[in-house]
Amino acid sequence: MEQLASKITAWVQKNQEKYMRLSQQIWQYAELAFQETKSVQALTQLLEEEGFAVTAGLAGIPTAFSSSYGQGKPVIGILGEYDALPSLSQKAGCNHREELVPGGAGHGCGHNLLGVGSAAAAIAVKDYLQESGQEGTVIFYGCPAEENGSAKVYLSRDGVFRGLDAVFTWHPGSNNSIMGEHSLAAVSVVYRFHGRATHAAGQPHLGRSALDACELMNVGVNYLREHMIQEARIHYAYRDAGGAAPNVVQDHAALYYFIRSPKISQALELRDRVDNCARGAALMTGTTVEILPVDGMCDYLPNHVLSEVLQQSFEATGAPDFDETDRQIARSFQQQYPAAEVEAKVVAYGAKFGAEYTEMFRGKPLQDVVFPLRFPTTPLFGSTDVGDVSYVAPTAWLNAACYAIGTPGHSWQLAAQGGTSVGEKGMLAAAKAMAHAAVTVMQQPALLEKAKQEHQKTTGGRYVCAVPDEVKPHIEGDF
């Protein structure tokens, strides 16, 4: 274990300058969903230079790719992302709002680090395969459009991850831990109502209001909320309110719904009930409704066997090696966050990982130990397209500290720190831990067999994509 950890560390370190430069480059590109061409080019160039064979355009998505090294079994997948978020352009390290590109996109979720960290892990696994001469394959998956588009769902539906023995992934965060929670499954649907327009005062009896149908549907769903499981969530937005004129009966209107539940099967059942609210509203108003599935994500299933391996690997390779400069950068951001929010974070550490961690990190800008492994029963109240991958193959996920404790997700503060040494150190720590875990399971096929048995048990060997085949990859807002 120790020996492997020092080898992996050396393999990652020898390219470390290159990885930091590349993450800076992708941070500057800050390309939005499905437009990540420059980021993909930079990553494929790196992987090709390292001897990986690249396959571009997976599942018909131009910015999705795989790159593999080695041959035969076992086959280990490592997931990377590289899409940015709109309107979050921010100067690196700058703790007050100053855009780098006015109105531009920014890496407010740290995916510049995510892509490069995962590629660095895959390259260290390649170094191992080369040195040991062992049979085995490592595949880096370039997964675009995580923020808006859920590309991994379409890649999963297309069979891209089928047959993998294990999958490792990570996400930049403000602490170092293994993701032991389930996430919520989510299904999203557009309900488009069609009615008949008339003069609202002159011939109201001839009008059939699509807007009324939307309102009645929302009322129906409000009552439905009383009779669903605690962990389920339903939210909606108006996509079309029928127009601006009150004196015209609105003949078109549309709602966009997100329906979430702990299991994808529960989300789909709940969706049927929401569909019925839409049909009921159409019946009541004499309108018609089109039900258009937009997207769907399975719940994330943490594979316990692989999560334990990843935990041990993370402990062996270590948390990010932050220095005083990094702490100063992080502190300059943290000082501006509401004190209650920072306190809530450290209290949550205590509740989840052990009371001593609240004390350990109270007043500290950066979390710099690996938290113990936990598998909470309460789900994470959010959804991720890694969920679908976890239904196809045994999957484990780690979070590495890349920004100050208390940093809000999807924020310019996060974008700013992801372009500094704080983010880079988190990225390098993640790369080492994932490479160590991948090599460990390659060396111990019995672990992969156990992971597979667990996966079979939790999924029943079944993966059903919640997005119907006719729905092609798209930006959700464009629907």
Tracing tokens 């500057």 back to the chain, one arrives at 28
Least spacing, CB of residue 177 vs Zn ion, in Å: 16
Determine the residue with CB nearest Zn ion. Answer: 109
Strands 75-81 and 136-143 come out as parallel
Q: How far is CA 265 from the centre of its chain?
A: 20
Q: How far is the CB of 293 from Zn ion (least distance, A)?
A: 23
Least CB distance from residue 109 to Zn ion, whole Å?
3
Backbone torsions φ then ψ of 329, nearest 5 degrees? -60, -50
State the minimum distance, in angstroms, from the CB of residue 106 to Zn ion.
Answer: 13
Residue whose C-alpha is closest to residue 146's, from 23, 34, 58, 62: 34
Q: Which residue has the tokens 């709602």?
A: 255
Beta carbon nearer to Zn ion, 88 or 109:
109
SS3 content of the chain, % helix, strand, coil (to 5): 45, 20, 35
| Nearest distance in Å: CB 81, Zn ion | 7
**Rounded distance, CA 95 to CA 97, Å?**
7
Nearest distance in Å: CB 104, Zn ion: 18
CA-to-CA dists, residue 92 to 99, 108, 186, 341, 427, angstroms: 9, 11, 33, 23, 16
> Which of residues 69 and 141 has its CB atom nearest to Zn ion in the complex?
141
Alpha helices in 68-147 (DSSP H): 111-132
Nearest-5° Cα angle at 63, 57 to 69: 65
**Among residues 116 and 255, whose Cβ is nearest to Zn ion?**
116
**CB closer to Zn ion, 203 vs 381:** 381
Nearer to Zn ion, 109 or 216 (CB): 109
- CA pair distance 357, 177, nearest whole angstrom: 13
Distance of alpha carbon 179 from alpha carbon 430, whole angstroms: 13
- Pick the closer one to Zn ion by CB: 63 or 285: 63
Radius of gyration for the chain, computed over Cα atoms and rounded to the nearest angstrom: 24
Cβ distance to Zn ion smaller for residue 12 or 109: 109
SS (H, E, C) 17-36: HHHHHHHHHHHHHCCCCCCC
* CA neighbor of 155 nearest in space, from 84, 81, 48, 262: 81
Q: Report d(CA 69, CA 431) in Å as an integer.
A: 17
The minimum distance between CB 390 and Zn ion, in angstroms, equals 16
State the nearest-atom distance from the C-beta of 171 to Zn ion, in Å: 6
Q: Which is nearer to Zn ion, 109 or 342 (CB)?
A: 109
CB of 27 to Zn ion, least distance (A): 14
Residue with tokens 């111990």: 444
Which residues of this protein are in contact with Zn ion, per CB under 5 A?
Answer: 109
Is 150 or 440 the residue whose CB approaches Zn ion more closely? 150
